[in-house]
Structure 1
């Protein structure tokens, strides 16, 4: 998908170059605006080398770069997460006798934030104030957003209040940034107070505002409040995106309210909301939890004709659904079909299958599957060790636990204790002592 899009942009840049050449032929010479537009295009779609090369062409044509030229280049370097290049370009601009404007500083501040340097970003902000530049609302929003994203939400609010005292009139975008920041640190009440403040100021919250709050309510298990926000959005006539519908449907699923989750799905289809793989995963999961595998497979079969691709979660959900109804053979067949079509190994689905095989009393088969896996994680080991203990196969569990420690994986402390206690109760006290020693040794070298 990416390559055709990139090729399309490159063709557009070639057409732009052709237009400049045609203009020169008929006597219409390019000016600084022409070259600045070209630099911006190359920065966005081709790369910094191609964009920077335009500078040489400008100078050869006797055209001096201006602040917009360098702002475009600094923005391009920022998009490439290159702080060193951004700083070099800023320094080059100063040495060329070009005075940076507010957008130069805004871009540099944004670059420091996205590269995890909030202290340096704050110093740029102080420079803006000290140099008596006229800050733009984007300046304040960049600073507030950067502080929130780096966990300094309280500092962001203090800055916001200070700006208000000095006459800053925030727009909805500022309130949305603060509401999002408060929600991320689980300060839901403060976020709702911020929403009320925005409304008292005559601002009308939008879908972004409500969706942010709704998601935070569900994460905090305040489901009813989240549903109230969803209802308020509907009453105000806001258009929902797939994310909002899937968020609400997921909340209904967690509460076991399947009919309401289905209603959301129907509304999503009725309103022709952009349906993506998240939509299918959510509702395939719904049907699997209800044991309606036929309906789940019907949705599964729709994915490819819609031009979408299944991901690891899709196959994990189907595998888990088959296991839940006791159809382990069907789950194995599904995964085999997945692998024959070239899909990479699905660790989540295999972990689920191992657990279900153990619960069905097929531990030896689970061990064989475990041994065939190319990749394992802590859950793989924990699940198998736990189930071996339940089957009182403590010596086998002990060997697996040692292997797990050597591979650098962590197993739950309770599971480790169950193996040691099991060995002792079965009369293998010497092996229990050896296991303790090997586990301590493995932790030491890790």
Structure 2
């Protein structure tokens, strides 16, 4: 019986097994195919995301522009009519009414029908009424609607922006239209000046490159040297100096020397000598060139070379002025060389130099540093009689400060009294200079004279620390008077002075 059943069920189970096996294989194949497809699609999605995060510039540039809208004849006629009205309003200085009409056109999408002329009028009117945001908006709209401004537009606009000192808008306009601005020396000179005025010398090399492609004459190259000064570019400055040859002007030479003295005074001196050899009949180097180089040498503490240059200048028929005299006195002060300073000063006076107020300050600093306080006192005492000008409070304060350097308190006080005799009142700086010095000398009577003068001035400028130092060392009635005055003036009294004596 069992054999009989097996004979009938054997084929059935075999067939069933084969069907199940085929189904299992199909499931596995489907899974493998799905997994492979999922991996591939996932990688493609990830790559698309990466491409979106790092867009290819060439692909973006190649992106087709949006189709240009076509306008009906009625829309074109309406835009022309409104443009005439806007031009009339702008001509009558009714900027707001013109702007309102422009906005109505913009809401209708008809601003693309406007001409360069009306945009130019809007930009220039906006600048004149200090609506810089409107001017920038008009420039961006011109770019968006495909208007390429003419050379006349750029010359007029850049001149106007420069004259109104809207330097930032100059550079913004360049950023908007960069490659569409025609090569023109007026336009690019305005752009370069804007970059220099905004202290952005790093913007100038690219602008200079385009400026150089314009039709330039020799004097136009001054702008190159101004940029080289801002960039500290000695090499390009010297190369252009040699390229121009005899066309170099005194201003160009002075700018080149200004670059050199900051980095290499020896190079500047060599270029100055070379300028002499270019042409004996030319008018450079002038006194400004020597002044620039002498100052550079003084700043580098090369006093001997500066004096050699002074002699060289005289040998070439140029007399020093008060500026060169001041530079040389400053160099003598740095080196504490009083004898040389006095000789240079006397020689300059003998050659007819009229010393300026700045020269007097420098001379007083030289005398003060070298301890020649009596000489400094006599100089300032006789200055008006010798030179016809009365010294100012700045000069007297400088004299007093020099006396305090070597603790010549009596001479400082004598200078203070001389100033008052000459009818000059002390200022805040004078009080702030004298009060600590008199406190250090512990001459309390003089301290109180200064303190009373100080309290007659604005409380905001009172020397609080010096007053507290004086109060800490004083006693008796002077202490009480000073403390009461400080309280009335609202001055903070330090904790060490707040007790009762």
2:251 maps to 1:138: yes
Q: Secondary structure at the match of 1:342?
A: helix
Q: Secondary structure at the match of 2:256?
A: helix
The 3 A distance-change label for structure 1 pair 342 and 77 is same
Counterpart position of 1:71: 189
Counterpart position of 1:244: 359
Match 2:413 to one of 291, 311, 336: 291
2:349 maps to 1:234: yes
The 3 A distance-change label for structure 1 pair 171 and 284 is same
Question: In 1, Cα distance between the equivalents of 2:171 and 2:390?
Answer: 39
Q: Secondary structure at the match of 1:291?
A: helix
The 3 A distance-change label for structure 1 pair 64 and 230 is same
2:199 maps to 1:81: yes
Counterpart position of 1:173: 288
Question: In 1, Cα distance between the equivalents of 2:356 and 2:249?
Answer: 31
Note the C-alpha offset of 1:161.
3.3
Note the C-alpha offset of 1:248.
1.9
Counterpart position of 2:167: 48
Match 1:154 to one of 266, 269, 278: 266
Question: In 1, Cα distance between the equivalents of 2:174 and 2:254?
Answer: 31
Note the C-alpha offset of 1:267.
1.5
Q: What are the superposed Cα offsets for residues 93-113 of structure 1, whole Å, 9 maximum, x if unpaired?
A: 46xx63455555433433343
2:442 maps to 1:326: yes
Question: In 1, Cα distance between the equivalents of 2:459 and 2:466?
Answer: 20
- The answer to whether the 8 A contact 1:102-1:133 is kept is no
The 3 A distance-change label for structure 1 pair 284 and 269 is farther
Match 1:191 to one of 294, 300, 306: 306
Question: In 2, Cα distance between the equivalents of 1:103 and 1:371?
Answer: 68
Unpaired segments of 5 or more residues in structure 2? 1-124, 130-151, 176-180, 404-408, 476-491, 497-501
Match 2:432 to one of 316, 327, 333: 316
2:320 maps to 1:201: no
- The answer to whether the 8 A contact 1:218-1:251 is kept is yes
2:328 maps to 1:213: yes
TM-score normalised by L of structure 2: 0.50
- The answer to whether the 8 A contact 1:179-1:191 is kept is yes
Question: In 2, Cα distance between the equivalents of 1:71 and 1:331?
Answer: 59
The 3 A distance-change label for structure 1 pair 71 and 288 is farther
Counterpart position of 2:208: 90
- The answer to whether the 8 A contact 2:168-2:194 is kept is no
Residue-pair matches, total: 318
Greater Rg over alpha carbons, structure? 2
The 3 A distance-change label for structure 1 pair 213 and 293 is closer
- The answer to whether the 8 A contact 1:109-1:125 is kept is no
Counterpart position of 2:9: none
Structure 2 matches for 1:269-280, cutoff 5 A? 271=387, 273=389, 278-280=394-396
